[in-house]
Structure 1
Amino acid sequence: MRRLIGASGLLLSILCPGAALSASEPATMKIVYTDYRPYSWEEGSQVIGLEVDLLEEALRKRLGITLEHKVLPWERAQQQVRSGLADAFVASPSPARLVYAVASREPVSYWDLSLFFRKGDRRLAGIRSLEQLAPLRIGTLLGNAWVKDKLGNLQVQYLAKMEQLPPTLLAGRFDVIPDNPYVIHHLLKRGGYAAEIGETSLSGHRTEMLLYIGKASSFASRLEEVDQVLQAMRADGTWQRIHAQYRVDN
């Protein structure tokens, strides 16, 4: 019987070279992002950014988890976790996401809010609350759950890519982009739109960005460890140091 088992294993290793190693190979955690600089973006074949550095520190260095990073359109990235093709993403709190994923208690990062509009549009000058946006047309990224939850009852136009937002705003297709100032500042600088687009900051809307792990993922059971490591990174200053490298206030 032992010879039969040994022969079967040898045959399997010849026919399927990877099969014999699969049991001992560590599982890889597949994390998906979108192009959302400075939080995440793709440069050549490498995925880089604030979120990537934070998760490399927390998950790979401190928990020993092998990671794979991938940038996708934001709606598709979330669908990958929803369908089990990827393990995790970082995003703002949303009840809809909790249907198919579990969320960390500790934030990976955070999201501030500014309103971006065509310079000269006087309607935006005095706005200090979300309620005052009711008469205006909103532009945002497809898959933005914060906008859907907070402003979904207004006129919202969803675009597939972040870089489409400034030129579409200037073309008059919508009136305002409510989004993270760190991200939009990058877009305006790269696209040369800074002279044409104004900004109004809305205080009191800082939103934590959490790690969502799909309920079907084998890594969902390690969420408590992730929370402990993220808490430790804040306590020892690593979390703040990585944010400062990307000039994101903390």
Structure 2
Amino acid sequence: MFAPVARAQTHLVFCYDPYPPYTLGTEGAPTGGLKVELLEALVDRMDGITAEVVLMPWARCQEEARVGDVDGILPLFYSDARAEFLAFSDATFEQTSALWYNSETRPDAAAWAGDYADIADARLGLLNGAVIDAEMEAAFARNQPIQRANSIASMFDMLKFGRIQFAALDAKVGEHHLQTVGLSDVIRAMPVTIAPRTAHFGLSKASGAHVHLDALNAALRDLQTDGSLARIYAGGW
């Protein structure tokens, strides 16, 4: 997947959690994914650098980057708290989320124009720990508690069986899951995407990997200029 370590002066280890289609595989080494492919493309344009990705639980990934046990994190969202231990790259992808609905029980959702007030009388589902859009959460929570799920599969089961009427999730992640389990004909994304946010590589300050930030940004600009970045993101899985 990546160039052999022996060919480079510096080898960087990045982490992420298993999150198809951004990272494919279980804990350990990934088998592919959009963000893994992006790192591969960047490394190909960075002299003297090789890299690998290790998949692990999300909290552990962030902690290992904080203390310098790994050199970086695949593209993630900026926060002031994360900036204390990560040097953030220029923007990579713009990730959007979507509201998903059961087309058999809420066919009217296909006409939603983006105003949360029009649908906030329904029950919303989110993954445990997910923070997508504060305005959306406030609109739904005014009427009834937001339901939390431990996994994507559980959340979509709640939607399928009517325990919730809408589910909020990253657009590409939701699409990938539904195609994998064969529910794309029943559960669909509403027409207006929500919560666009740019994702950035994070390089660990504790490991010293942040000294490669300029080189990484230069390679990233090359990918943007020749269209490779857009192709990778559009490539799906």
TM-score, normalising length: structure 2:
0.75
CA deviation after TM superposition for structure 1 residue 58, in Å: 0.9
Give the drift of 1:83: 4.3
Could you tell me which of 180, 184, 193 is aligned with 1:190?
Answer: 180
Q: Percent identity over the alignment?
A: 24
Matched, 1:241 2:231: yes
Report the 3-state secondary structure (helix = DSSP H, G, I; strand = E; otherwise coil) of the residue aligned with 1:47.
Answer: coil
Change (3 A) 1:243 1:198: closer
Matching residue of 2:40: 56
Aligned-partner residue type, residue 113 of structure 1:
S
Give the drift of 1:55: 0.8
Pair 1:165 & 2:177 matched:
no
Q: Is the 8 A contact 2:113 2:191 kept in 1?
A: no
Name the structure with the higher helix share: 1
Q: How many residues align?
A: 221
Tell me, yes or no, if the aligned pair for 2:100 and 2:168 is still in contact at 8 Å: yes
Q: Distance in 1 between matches of 2:61 and 2:168?
A: 21
- CA spacing shift, 1:58–1:171, aligned 2, 3 Å: same
Counterpart of 2:196 in structure 1: which amino acid? R
Question: Following TM superposition, by how much is the alpha carbon of 1:103 offset from its aligned partner in structure 2, in angstroms?
Answer: 1.5
Partner in structure 2 of residue 35 of structure 1 = 18
Q: Does 1:128 align with 2:114?
A: yes
Q: Structure 2, unaligned stretches of length 5 or more? A: 1-7
Question: Aligned-pair distance for 1:189?
Answer: 1.3
Q: Give the alignment's TM-score, normalised by structure 1.
A: 0.72
| CA distance 1:195–1:85, change in 2 (3 Å) | same
- Show the 5 A alignment for 1:1-250: 26-42=9-25, 46-89=30-73, 90-104=75-89, 106-119=90-103, 120-121=105-106, 124=109, 125-126=111-112, 128-130=114-116, 134-147=120-133, 151=136, 153=138, 154=141, 155-203=145-193, 205-246=195-236
In structure 1, distance between residues paired with 2:119 and 2:87: 32
**What is the distance in 2 between the residues matched to 1:63 and 1:156?**
48
Structure (1 or 2) with the larger CA radius of gyration: 1
Answer whether contact 2:29 2:55 (CA < 8 A) is retained: no
Distance 2:231 2:217 in 1: 18
Q: 1:183 to 1:203 in 2, by over 3 A?
A: closer
Structure 1's unaligned 5+ residue stretches are 1-24
Match of 1:6 in 2: none
Partners of 1:229 and 1:47 in 2: how far apart? Answer: 23
Partners in 2 of 1:165 and 1:198 — Cα distance?
14
8 Å CA contact 1:113–1:201 kept in 2: the answer is no
Secondary structure of 2:62's aligned partner: helix
